[in-house]
Structure 1
């Protein structure tokens, strides 16, 4: 066994050496390749009345280089040939504005503010006519932790922007994830949000690329949601991500003009929701900017008992100290009280082989009106961005997260026969999660010889503390499904709770990491990415009821990442491939013979290749890819001993399309196939991994009328399909797949918007892939005032 570990350590060392050797050889081989110098062009576009001009085409005349302004009117065009160029700014259907610019190699040129002849109302009309791909938003600094276009990035990711979130009247964070190919969103029994991605469960504890502590985010503060796919340990570590990927919540940022909107939403199940988003400069020179988002949400349930009440406030402050230094402060303050839902146990003691057989209607709650979870989340972030010079930038970020679960009564129906189950309750609380994440990144954009490098070098420190009081309340009652099922009475639960002994636990861990990633242009079209992370994990022994345990340990992991991109058609079509690694720390185990076995970190390795497109002036964007994720060193039990040779393989393919084929029509579509099986284990070899569907499909088609008669009216239609999966590792009990059909009707003016939305129009009783019931049909209406 020792030789096996030495072999693994040697293999990792050889991989790191290979990465370094490849980097050096690429630099030497191509340093003399003659290429013309290039620079970046950035700027701001405004309307004639001084408002930011979003979704305006900006391009370099006579080339394929171009971009689209974001909501704040900002744009950047990267890798423009040096020398005199003509910048073309054009609002579709109106006269273009042409501006001469002199591009300097290896520098970023800031163009003076471009003022269109059209005002904000005219711009709004153009957007209403649908001349832009409104739902395509893949410009990000987070996926690679440096500015990198989608077509330059060998990793696959999807983005759901706030335009799509608003059009679909999304009030539950997990519903935004339904727009991502290959993703099945879930809520856990306590109400926390997560998703299944590429066969693995992911949580929502990443915000702007940093760690946060929150179970239930409100969508009010979302600029977009990024789903970054595949094991991403090299740049994001092990504590925040799964082997299938991660969910990054990108929040709204302040900008330089006064703007805002307020909205009220009502609908089925006593839904009442008020939101506000207000942005304003705080001084005359617009260097101090404030944006505040807030939401008050109250909702009942489609079941016999239940509620969801939450309040959110998210102030964001930006201070431009000078041309080089920008400071930011963000806070997310959330209070949630929501009913908990039942999670079935021991179904193997019944004859049921499908959740459809269970004789409990979807509308029947197995809890009670005040059997709930009470949570408070306080997350703070500070950042400093400093331009060291034209080539190097420093980014410093610190986040502090605190999530307190005051109480959570979780319900576990424990089946004893086809018609009876014990209604067991576990009480959690107070349960306090506290984390601190500090990160220092340096990014450079420079040439070695004629070879362009975009280099990231970073340090990351993460600490996490959990304090938990847990009480096993035990059996509340015995339910006979042939009789009416009463609600749980909180007073009776508390009476039982008072007779029980609770357990108090404290856990602490820390990680200290260093990483580097270099994106190298071998030619103008061929790009390679070479990345590596060294991670030191420290686990402090758990303290249980005042007694210190023996599970303290330290572990070091090395996580490499490689990728390539070849642009078949520059700025339009890329071929890509990647090797990515994820890891999870594994604690030592005391074996039956008294010896202690120390294990290596659990590793997942992905190979992937595919195509990315941003064609027809970005009217069509899409990704097609095939991936293979292998785990070859999972721990398993054999003859009572723990050994580290377990194997699992998750493989599949994904297709994503975001398109604006004709004016007014926008399409978001996706399909994914996943095959995730246990290869080598103590039992159930060859079985599918539990609670992982094999097929996923999503569609949303939106049309805004462009004629005079129905101008400003729009329709949306779509839904989701998720296939069957197995509830347990034995692959005996099936969770049935589901199809959700949704539709919307909206009227959108420059100053106000009205939307009617129907969710699950077929009123089908469905289960998530965790076996939890999902809402029946819901009709909602929303009114928004924009100013």
Structure 2
């Protein structure tokens, strides 16, 4: 325990050293000239008596809404006439400080919205101290113009981005008089953000197009899980977060330590800030430094290259902030689970041209499974440098060290999982997995002008994996004897990715274009050693006796493999607005890939394999918006996935890539300004699947005539129904089956894919009165019957799991109790696709957390 505390103390100490310079960026307040239209407001108090005579004004809400020139920032208070303001500019930021006032939002004391409109990178409203509110609006190229209007609703700041003023012909300035916002002689205003800064509804996403595009303008289903959902559910794993998304199914783990992601009945790739994360064997996927999770459903090769047809999950990381922010959170849960996390950010110099962010956590956890435990340490520093008015460089890294007990779960007997206690462990207490994942990346972006920009990104990823445990070989279902093999492996996976995008906006007549041209290159290497697959004492699943018999590690290595993969991709995309109600999306990508593989058995000659191929992947979509809150869309998308390795067909030629194609139609609706829904129908097919050659007596001979089909309906809804009542819910019908095969597999359902699944998570937080800040949450998660393997030899039964929470937030702190599996339901989350690896869901679990922000 002392060693664990030392690690936690070391992590926090390092964090404080890294971010402490941000405190130095706080310069002394110097009142500057008043904002225009402040002549009618009294001057600040100049004596102690005057100051004491004034009451502290509470601002109870913050809203953003679009105008024809920019945005309005509304500070909701009925005492705006009692406020005095000072203002100043620092770099690209316009700052207003309001003494004798305090921000009291239902969700905390900080409002933050990134990129509310073009030309504005961030709007923040915070409590600078106990009696001062600070409003900061940061522009992309220069500080924006700000005007003040006094209204019954509160203080209204009219913000005009610098880019807007640059496009406006210069005229002789004339004095302006205060005016009240009015709907007269104006076009209807589309609300951009309202209420809290944190919500369940997200309006824009970058994953589908590599550009910040309104979700309603994307002709493909994309769902976003914002940070607020993760916080309310007490979620720290990506796998658990995806239960909120329709069509996402839990396929269990790989040997108990690495997660499978599945969308629409097929595998899905993981991305991080738009670049592929090669972390298939990199442990459980964390959310500590994640701002939101964007889920793109269906083929995505048009922009992202080789990928399975199910889609992709993109983790969008937290960005450095322009003002100091400090968050500390502690978690204690069932099964001896302890976790401490920090999130620290702010400027490192007075001009705020250098920003930093640092996320870290330490976790030590047991399990409801006997002998199973884990320990994890994670560090993620990030720095952002403003190299000029139009140029930024972001550098970040992350380091994960994980040690856990390898656990393959239970087994199947007959047509169901074995009837065993869910805590029963069928391995050896000494078996473990050690994982180290290191990432380094940078993002360079430059704006040539308001129409054209370029960005260049690079990431290097290093995964070191060591596994030491007996492998399961076969089960005698009559006696319960599980035979096992000795196993030890080491592998070092390295990935280097570089990506360059050029973005441009232009018009051809009345038709508007947003063009994307890009190139990326990835080099993957793997150095793996394995051994030795010799018999190890069996274990009886009904009456286990653990031998605890260790065996040598490196001395038993007898198989060696090296892989090198080079991938080149060239892509283009055009987002076309024919008229405001009709939009087209067209694009394509050409990929070239080359692979070298060498394998060697101990004492034998090395075997060399080489293959190369190329593939073009198109995408086409259309969006029609008959009204401002309805989008009808249709799209066609494709994917491909090379058949790598030593696989060959009967004439010793390498297999062609597996391909995917999807037709999708759907409707997206903004039911209210805070609540949105998506309904999608799709037909998705994976082709060129390798199957047994019916004309060969060799069981290893295969041909590429197989096809797998997934057809379905999906519904997602997320947002705020009334102030304080939030919801995120989904339903999916998936008909996933083998549509072409040379064996009796044709017509069978895909493993781990339920025909029906649904989820509902909702919270309500009291908005006013003595119980303001108290909230409750309820979750229902339904998964239908699934087959555990492709032979459809056994069924994982359906289940409904109930989760709940109670939380309380006040000022800058939040306390919560999350309850998972409230009624202690026994259920199975998925399988490895065999009869020897079936995974239980967790029983009744309590998680208490406390977080404080400064």
TM range (shorter): 0.7 to 0.9
SS in structure 2 at match of 1:292: strand
> Which position in structure 2 is the counterpart of 1:178?
243
> Which position in structure 2 is the counterpart of 1:354?
416
Relative distance call for 1:96 and 1:354 in structure 2 (3 A) is: same
Corresponding position: 1:169 with 2:234: yes
Match of 1:635 among 686, 690, 700: 690
> Which position in structure 1 is the counterpart of 2:467?
407
> Which position in structure 2 is the counterpart of 1:24?
none
SS in structure 2 at match of 1:165: helix
C-alpha displacement of 1:476: 2.9
> Which position in structure 1 is the counterpart of 2:788?
727
SS in structure 2 at match of 1:768: strand
SS in structure 2 at match of 1:255: coil
C-alpha separation in 2, matches of 1:359 and 1:108: 74
SS in structure 2 at match of 1:311: strand
- Structure 1: where are the runs of 5+ without partners? 1-37, 61-65, 79-84, 110-128
C-alpha separation in 2, matches of 1:715 and 1:52: 21
C-alpha displacement of 1:172: 2.9
> Which position in structure 2 is the counterpart of 1:314?
380
SS in structure 2 at match of 1:581: strand
Match of 1:504 among 556, 560, 574: 560
Match of 1:232 among 300, 309, 315: 300
C-alpha displacement of 1:380: 0.8
> Which position in structure 2 is the counterpart of 1:494?
551
Task: Show CA shifts across 1:622-666 (max 9, x none).
Answer: 110001101233222221253322122111011000121111100
> Which position in structure 2 is the counterpart of 1:3?
none
C-alpha displacement of 1:420: 1.7
SS in structure 2 at match of 1:177: helix
Is the 8 Å Cα contact of residues 426 and 541 (structure 2) preserved in structure 1?
no
> Which position in structure 1 is the counterpart of 2:669?
613
C-alpha displacement of 1:425: 4.3
C-alpha displacement of 1:597: 3.4
> Which position in structure 1 is the counterpart of 2:265?
199
SS in structure 2 at match of 1:275: strand
Is the 8 Å Cα contact of residues 222 and 250 (structure 1) preserved in structure 2?
yes
C-alpha separation in 2, matches of 1:768 and 1:433: 28
C-alpha displacement of 1:602: 1.4
SS in structure 2 at match of 1:175: helix
Task: Show CA shifts across 1:50-87 (max 9, x none).
Answer: 99732599799xxxxx9996899999999xxxxxx999
C-alpha separation in 2, matches of 1:402 and 1:481: 37
Corresponding position: 1:424 with 2:479: no
SS in structure 2 at match of 1:266: strand
C-alpha separation in 2, matches of 1:131 and 1:455: 34
Alignment of 1:447-466 (within 5 A): 447-466=507-526
C-alpha separation in 2, matches of 1:674 and 1:70: 42
Is the 8 Å Cα contact of residues 409 and 426 (structure 2) preserved in structure 1?
no
> Which position in structure 1 is the counterpart of 2:223?
158
Alignment of 1:225-264 (within 5 A): 225-238=293-306, 241-264=307-330
Alignment of 1:4-43 (within 5 A): none
Corresponding position: 1:287 with 2:353: yes
C-alpha separation in 2, matches of 1:643 and 1:392: 48
Relative distance call for 1:518 and 1:341 in structure 2 (3 A) is: same
Relative distance call for 1:148 and 1:92 in structure 2 (3 A) is: farther
Is the 8 Å Cα contact of residues 93 and 138 (structure 2) preserved in structure 1?
no
> Which position in structure 1 is the counterpart of 2:826?
765
Alignment of 1:340-379 (within 5 A): 340-342=406-408, 352-355=414-417, 358-379=418-439
C-alpha displacement of 1:91: 12
C-alpha separation in 1, matches of 2:434 and 2:271: 18
Is the 8 Å Cα contact of residues 95 and 137 (structure 2) preserved in structure 1?
no
C-alpha separation in 2, matches of 1:503 and 1:729: 29
SS in structure 1 at match of 2:216: helix
Match of 1:539 among 595, 610, 618: 595
Corresponding position: 1:665 with 2:725: yes
SS in structure 1 at match of 2:830: coil
C-alpha separation in 2, matches of 1:222 and 1:569: 34
Relative distance call for 1:591 and 1:297 in structure 2 (3 A) is: closer
Alignment of 1:362-761 (within 5 A): 362-409=422-469, 411-412=471-472, 414-425=474-485, 427-483=487-543, 485-487=544-546, 489=548, 492-495=549-552, 500-545=556-601, 547-570=605-628, 572-586=629-643, 590-592=648-650, 595-617=651-673, 619-636=674-691, 637-640=693-696, 642-683=702-743, 684-761=745-822
C-alpha separation in 2, matches of 1:553 and 1:92: 71
C-alpha separation in 2, matches of 1:537 and 1:779: 48
Relative distance call for 1:647 and 1:210 in structure 2 (3 A) is: closer
C-alpha separation in 1, matches of 2:761 and 2:155: 32
C-alpha separation in 2, matches of 1:655 and 1:309: 38
C-alpha displacement of 1:324: 1.3
C-alpha separation in 1, matches of 2:125 and 2:496: 31
C-alpha separation in 2, matches of 1:402 and 1:499: 25
Structure 1 runs, 4 residues or longer, greater than 6 Å off:
38-47, 56-60, 70-78, 85-92, 100-103, 105-109
SS in structure 2 at match of 1:167: helix
Is the 8 Å Cα contact of residues 58 and 88 (structure 1) preserved in structure 2?
no
C-alpha separation in 1, matches of 2:266 and 2:470: 23
C-alpha displacement of 1:40: 8.1
SS in structure 1 at match of 2:288: helix
C-alpha separation in 1, matches of 2:778 and 2:550: 45
Aligned residues: 705
TM-score (norm 2): 0.77
Relative distance call for 1:169 and 1:56 in structure 2 (3 A) is: same
C-alpha separation in 2, matches of 1:373 and 1:57: 42
Is the 8 Å Cα contact of residues 599 and 608 (structure 2) preserved in structure 1?
no
Match of 2:843 among 752, 776, 780: 776
C-alpha separation in 1, matches of 2:232 and 2:200: 10
SS in structure 2 at match of 1:464: strand
> Which position in structure 1 is the counterpart of 2:183?
none
Relative distance call for 1:108 and 1:750 in structure 2 (3 A) is: farther
> Which position in structure 2 is the counterpart of 1:12?
none
C-alpha separation in 2, matches of 1:59 and 1:468: 49
Greater mean deviation of Cα atoms: 161-170 or 210-219: 210-219
SS in structure 2 at match of 1:174: helix
Relative distance call for 1:91 and 1:320 in structure 2 (3 A) is: farther
> Which position in structure 2 is the counterpart of 1:270?
336
SS in structure 1 at match of 2:229: helix
Task: Show CA shifts across 1:452-473 (max 9, x none).
Answer: 1111100010111111111244
SS in structure 2 at match of 1:597: coil
Task: Show CA shifts across 1:728-761 (max 9, x none).
Answer: 2221211122322111111101211110111111
Is the 8 Å Cα contact of residues 206 and 212 (structure 1) preserved in structure 2?
no
Task: Show CA shifts across 1:667-715 (max 9, x none).
Answer: 1110111111101112211110122222221111100002313111010
C-alpha displacement of 1:577: 1.0
Give me the CA root mean square deviation.
3.3
